[in-house]
């Protein structure tokens, strides 16, 4: 039986939920929720459910009020959202560590298709998201009462969350009222729920969290609970699939980027806690010493929770090791003494670790994914890659290998590739270790050092480069702005689906550029039907490369008039969308659309094409259809500089960028030995070796540029604006000539200095001969004067 006090609290809680749900039928403002939360604090509620959410975790008044709610010892339960089965779609506030985030399952213990998936995306691009949801509960076809009368069936995480809130209320009643506030808090309740949850056999941890809520087991935990700190999850066994996906899909190996896992510290001892000393790694055997772990963590734990991030790397002496590494990570947490106590509360947290390790794979099987140059909502209005998607205009899923590109990640692993993530600038990786750098749907700018290093990496180090671009059209972006009633301001896209002007800067040394068309249509390639969804076209490409063009309609604002004229039945214009070329020792493949790799709103996938492109960029394996003579460029594609897509001048891009006005530095997601530096030494690796015909990049802006993105200078090729003149420009022979092989390029590097040196020697010899002749003449003249 529930006590009258608990029943009274449940009635107040249900009244509050009904009030919030009523507000959801209309437009909801942050201020309304702040008022409701203040009421919950003022009335000293025990449990609060929130069956709402949104993607904006930078709505600081809302987020900070949630912290205030939990700091006042109110247990917050919240639905994670109904954006499943997409990953990286957690809603706020369920994605906060001090909130119990709830996902939904059906009566067969399958994750409901609508239930949002983790990981949390606050931490990107430098870190790694936390495990969410915390637990799951029944959320499909749940019977509940109508507001008027009778019952109805409801589905959604908005239903699963109140189920858990009811469970929490029952658990609250287990603790005697005098001890309730001393024992129960957001951390201790989450400990009871996640430690008592029943793990489901099929879903991974970013689908189910700790598992299905189990009232009886959680009751047994709370019945004998003593205040303590713990780590969630407490066991990381990377040998168990599918629960520890994606980590169980790819083993660790020496030379890789650190594998990052972000655990949550739950401090049931107090609202404030401290990590007394750095965490320590205790290997269970000698092989465990091959693992090097660096930690980043919350030194101050508030409210009730913190984070512990493990940055794991196999030492170089383990390059040939194959096997398992096991051990424990320990962490000492303390909290101030509770009321009536004299000594601080202390707890030792233990995280059990088990990893798979393999010998370092060959370079041709290693791919590096660029996470650093991705921008998503929030903080800015980043539009969707596919403009056909009308009901979800914001690009907010993280654009990470393990969120909306998780299907692609699984495909690459099935194909035998090892994929690593780079969350720092392009100067922060050693190109000699990787077959291909994969750039997909990137929105940020590039440091000038990045442009220069990538040019050297491709041409001299043999790095492959695969680029998947997106639409970019200023006229279309201007039309997409809208007025937001909540912020009382106009919102306008800060870039297109991708930042094409920045990509063009990056690709300028190779003579490649994208345009500003927005192309849509179906086409056939490699025996498969493909959908080109709001992609762009290629407007520059070197002679000797292979370019594929298909007929599409241009749906951009600038192309709308043309499409109206074509609607009468005229033929669609062919647009180049795929290009492949050799550049020095490296190989480059570019494609104008990333929608076919992104699981968010994918129409058709292009995984077969991606594999063919990687075969080429990694190992120079050429598919006959992609490299047919009919697609070889006898003359280059060339669009003048003033026709290339330009940056917006009405947007302060530095407010959203990790580059504009920022310092170039390698962060904690890179190799330990270069943390805090600007990256690998370009001078040692041939920084001064430049492409023939390409001017050295002006580094006058420096590393701490504060100029607006619209004023960033684009490295330009020394070309004439006339196409006919351009075709005969000998200085661009590397870009627009036949495919050069490595010996030709290397020869170009020593031949010019050799000719200069020989010319200098001849000039010096000629000058010395002339000097001798002058001295002889002078001596003979002096002699004649002496005899006068």
Total count of domains within the chain: 3
Q: Which pLDDT score, from 0 to 100, does residue 741 have?
A: 32
> Distance (Å, rounded) from C-alpha 89 to C-alpha 81?
7
Instruction: Dihedral sign for Cα 709, 712, 715, 721, please.
Output: positive
113, 164: one domain: yes
Q: Which pLDDT score, from 0 to 100, does residue 601 have?
A: 86
276, 399: one domain: no
User: Residue 75, SS3?
Assistant: strand
Domain end point (choices 645, 680, 715) = 680
Report the range of poorest mean pLDDT among 197-206, 269-278, 707-716: 707-716
> Distance (Å, rounded) from C-alpha 498 to C-alpha 515?
12
The contacts of residue 529 (CB under 8 Å, 6+ apart) are 522, 523, 604
Query: What value does the mean pLDDT take over residues 226-232?
Result: 97
Query: What value does the mean pLDDT take over residues 686-702?
Result: 33
- Confidence band of 257 (pLDDT split at 50, 70, 90): very high
348, 378: one domain: no
355, 372: one domain: no
Among candidate residues 80, 153, 168, the one with its CA nearest the CA of residue 121 = 80
The residue ranking higher by pLDDT, 589 or 787, is 589
Q: Is residue 331 part of a domain?
A: yes
> Distance (Å, rounded) from C-alpha 35 to C-alpha 454?
52
Report the range of poorest mean pLDDT among 164-173, 205-214, 383-392, 417-426: 383-392
Q: Which pLDDT score, from 0 to 100, does residue 373 have?
A: 97
Q: Is residue 785 part of a domain?
A: no
- Confidence band of 149 (pLDDT split at 50, 70, 90): confident
Contact (CB, 8 A) for 432 and 554: no
53, 156: one domain: yes
Residue 785 has pLDDT above 50, yes or no: no
Q: Which pLDDT score, from 0 to 100, does residue 693 have?
A: 37
Query: What value does the mean pLDDT take over residues 436-457?
Result: 97
What pLDDT digit, counting tens, does each position of 124-139 carry?
Answer: 988 999 999 999 999 9
Residue 262 has pLDDT above 90, yes or no: yes
580, 644: one domain: yes
Contact (CB, 8 A) for 663 and 705: no
Among candidate residues 386, 394, 453, the one with its CA nearest the CA of residue 425 = 453
Q: Is residue 563 part of a domain?
A: no
Residue 60 has pLDDT above 80, yes or no: yes
> Distance (Å, rounded) from C-alpha 564 to C-alpha 22?
46
Q: CA of 684: how far to CAs of 316, 423, 773, in Å?
A: 21, 24, 45
Domain end point (choices 360, 394, 419) = 360
Structure tokens at 486: 């909540």
587, 648: one domain: yes
Please list the residues that pair with 283 across neighbouring strands.
Answer: 327
152, 252: one domain: no
User: Looking up tokens 């006959």, which residue turns up?
Assistant: 624
380, with CB counted inside 10 A (0-12, 13-18, 19+), is: buried
Q: β-pairing, 464-468 with 436-440?
A: parallel
Mean pLDDT of the chain: 85
CATH of the domain at 266: 2.60.40.10
Q: Is residue 435 part of a domain?
A: yes
Residue 446 has pLDDT above 90, yes or no: yes
Q: Is residue 753 part of a domain?
A: no
CATH of the domain at 44: 3.40.50.200
Query: What value does the mean pLDDT take over residues 584-596?
Result: 97
Q: Which pLDDT score, from 0 to 100, does residue 334 have?
A: 98
Q: Give the count of beta carbons closer than 10 Å to the beta carbon of residue 774.
A: 10
Q: Which pLDDT score, from 0 to 100, does residue 778 have?
A: 45
Instruction: Dihedral sign for Cα 136, 138, 141, 143, please.
Output: negative
User: Residue 547, SS3?
Assistant: strand
**Radius of gyration (C-alpha) of the chain in whole angstroms:** 31
251, 398: one domain: no
User: Residue 285, SS3?
Assistant: coil
Q: Is residue 11 part of a domain?
A: no
Q: β-pairing, 273-275 with 300-301?
A: antiparallel
Q: Which pLDDT score, from 0 to 100, does residue 630 have?
A: 96
What pLDDT digit, counting tens, does each position of 484-541 carry?
Answer: 877 788 889 999 999 999 999 999 999 999 999 999 999 999 999 999 999 999 999 9
User: Residue 728, SS3?
Assistant: coil
Report the range of poorest mean pLDDT among 288-292, 648-652, 772-776: 772-776
How remote is the C-alpha of 532 from its chain's centroid? Answer: 23
Q: Which pLDDT score, from 0 to 100, does residue 126 have?
A: 86
Residue 773 has pLDDT above 70, yes or no: no
Query: What value does the mean pLDDT take over residues 610-631?
Result: 98
What pLDDT digit, counting tens, does each position of 315-372 carry?
Answer: 999 999 999 999 999 999 999 999 889 999 999 999 999 999 999 999 999 999 999 9
Q: Is residue 122 part of a domain?
A: yes
Q: Give the count of beta carbons closer than 10 Å to the beta carbon of residue 384.
A: 26
Residue 1 has pLDDT above 60, yes or no: no
Domain end point (choices 360, 387, 405) = 360
Q: If you ran DSSP here, which 8-state letter would residue 281 be given? A: E
Contact (CB, 8 A) for 333 and 273: yes
175, 249: one domain: no
> Distance (Å, rounded) from C-alpha 788 to C-alpha 784?
7
506, 527: one domain: yes
CA atoms within 13 A on the CB side of 416: 10
Residue 118 has pLDDT above 50, yes or no: yes
What pLDDT digit, counting tens, does each position of 4-46 carry?
Answer: 444 344 444 444 443 343 334 446 788 999 999 999 999 999 9
Q: Which pLDDT score, from 0 to 100, does residue 765 have?
A: 64
The whole domain housing 57 covers: 30-184
Q: Which pLDDT score, from 0 to 100, does residue 485 have?
A: 79
Q: Is residue 232 part of a domain?
A: yes
Query: What value does the mean pLDDT take over residues 460-465?
Result: 98
What pLDDT digit, counting tens, does each position of 402-425 carry?
Answer: 999 999 999 999 999 999 999 999
Residue 612 has pLDDT above 50, yes or no: yes
CATH of the domain at 374: 3.40.50.880
Torsion of CA 616, 621, 626, 631, to 10 degrees: 90
Residue 142 has pLDDT above 70, yes or no: yes
356, 375: one domain: no
> Distance (Å, rounded) from C-alpha 580 to C-alpha 622?
10
Instruction: Dihedral sign for Cα 80, 83, 86, 91, please.
Output: negative
């Amino acid at each position: 039986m529930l006590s009258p006090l608990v029943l009274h609290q449940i009635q107040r809680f249900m009244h509050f939920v009904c009030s919030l749900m009523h507000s959801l039928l209309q437009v909801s403002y942050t201020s309304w929720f702040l008022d409701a939360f203040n009421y919950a604090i003022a009335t000293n509620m025990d449990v609060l459910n929130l069956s709402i959410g949104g993607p904006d975790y930078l709505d600081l008044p809302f987020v900070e009020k949630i912290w205030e709610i939990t700091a006042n010892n109110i247990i917050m339960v919240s639905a994670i959202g109904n954006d499943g089965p997409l990953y990286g779609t957690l809603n706020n506030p369920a994605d906060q560590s001090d909130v119990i985030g709830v996902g939904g399952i059906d009566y067969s213990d399958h994750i409901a298709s609508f239930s949002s998936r983790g990981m949390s995306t606050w931490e990107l691009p430098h870190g790694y998201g936390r495990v969410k949801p915390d637990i799951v509960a029944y959320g499909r076809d749940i019977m509940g009462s109508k507001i008027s009368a009778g019952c109805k069936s409801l589905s959604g995480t908005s239903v699963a969350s109140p189920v858990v809130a009811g469970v929490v209320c029952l658990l609250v009643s287990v603790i005697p009222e005098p001890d309730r506030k001393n024992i129960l808090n957001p951390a201790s309740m989450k400990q009871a729920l996640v430690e008592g949850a029943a793990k489901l056999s099929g879903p991974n941890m970013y689908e189910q969290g700790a598992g299905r809520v189990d009232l009886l087991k959680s009751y047994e935990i709370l019945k004998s609970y003593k205040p303590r700190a713990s780590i969630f999850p407490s066991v990381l066994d990377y040998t168990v699939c599918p629960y520890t996906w994606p980590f169980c899909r790819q083993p660790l190996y020496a030379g890789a980027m650190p594998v990052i896992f972000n655990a949550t510290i739950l401090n049931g001892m107090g609202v404030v806690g401290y990590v007394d000393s750095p965490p320590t790694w205790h290997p269970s055997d000698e092989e465990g010493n091959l693992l090097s772990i660096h930690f980043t963590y919350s030194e101050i734990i508030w409210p009730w929770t913190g984070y512990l991030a493990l940055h794991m790397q196999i030492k170089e002496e383990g390059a040939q090791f194959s096997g398992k590494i096991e051990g424990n990570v320990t962490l000492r947490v303390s909290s101030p003494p509770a009321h009536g106590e004299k000594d601080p509360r202390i707890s030792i947290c233990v995280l059990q670790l088990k990893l798979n390790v393999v010998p370092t794979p060959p370079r041709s099987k290693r791919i590096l994914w660029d996470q650093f140059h991705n921008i998503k909502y929030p903080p800015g209005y980043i539009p969707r890659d596919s403009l056909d998607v009308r009901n979800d205009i914001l690009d907010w899923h993280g654009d990470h290998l393990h969120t909306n590109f998780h299907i692609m990640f699984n495909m690459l692993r099935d194909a035998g590739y090892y994929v690593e993530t780079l969350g720092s600038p392009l100067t922060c990786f050693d190109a000699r270790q990787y077959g291909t750098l994969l750039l997909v749907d990137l929105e940020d700018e590039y440091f000038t050092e990045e442009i220069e290093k990538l040019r050297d990496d491709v041409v001299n180090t043999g790095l492959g480069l695969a680029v998947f671009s997106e639409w970019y059209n200023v006229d279309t972006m201007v039309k997409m702005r809208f007025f937001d009633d909540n912020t009382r301001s106009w919102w306008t896209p800060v870039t297109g689906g991708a930042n094409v002007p920045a990509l063009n800067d990056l690709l300028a040394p190779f003579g490649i550029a994208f345009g500003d068309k927005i192309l849509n249509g179906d086409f056939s390639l490699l025996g498969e039907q493909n959908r080109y969804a709001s992609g762009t076209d290629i407007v520059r490409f070197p002679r000797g490369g292979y370019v594929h063009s298909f007929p599409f309609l241009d749906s951009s604002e600038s192309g709308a008039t043309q499409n109206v004229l074509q609607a009468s039945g005229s033929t669609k214009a062919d647009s180049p969308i795929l290009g492949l070329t050799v550049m020095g020792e490296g190989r480059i493949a570019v494609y104008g659309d990333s929608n076919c790799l992104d699981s968010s709103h994918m129409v058709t996938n292009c995984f077969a094409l991606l594999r063919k492109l990687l075969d080429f960029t990694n190992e120079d394996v050429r598919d006959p259809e992609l490299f047919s003579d009919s697609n070889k460029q006898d003359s280059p594609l060339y669009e003048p500089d003033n026709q290339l897509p330009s940056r917006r001048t009405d947007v302060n891009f530095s407010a959203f960028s990790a580059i504009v006005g920022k310092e170039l530095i390698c962060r904690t997601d890179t190799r330990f030995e270069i943390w805090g530096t600007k990256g690998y030494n370009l001078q040692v690796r041939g920084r001064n070796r430049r492409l023939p015909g390409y001017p050295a990049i002006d580094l006058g802006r420096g590393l701490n540029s504060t100029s607006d993105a619209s004023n960033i200078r684009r490295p330009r090729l020394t070309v004439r604006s006339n196409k006919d003149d351009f075709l005969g420009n000998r200085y661009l022979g590397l870009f627009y000539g036949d495919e050069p092989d490595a010996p030709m390029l290397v020869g170009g590097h020593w031949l010019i200095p050799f000719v200069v040196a020989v010319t200098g020697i001849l000039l010096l010899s000629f000058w010395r001969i002339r000097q001798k002749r002058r001295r002889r003449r002078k001596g003979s003249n002096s002699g004649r004067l002496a005899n006068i």
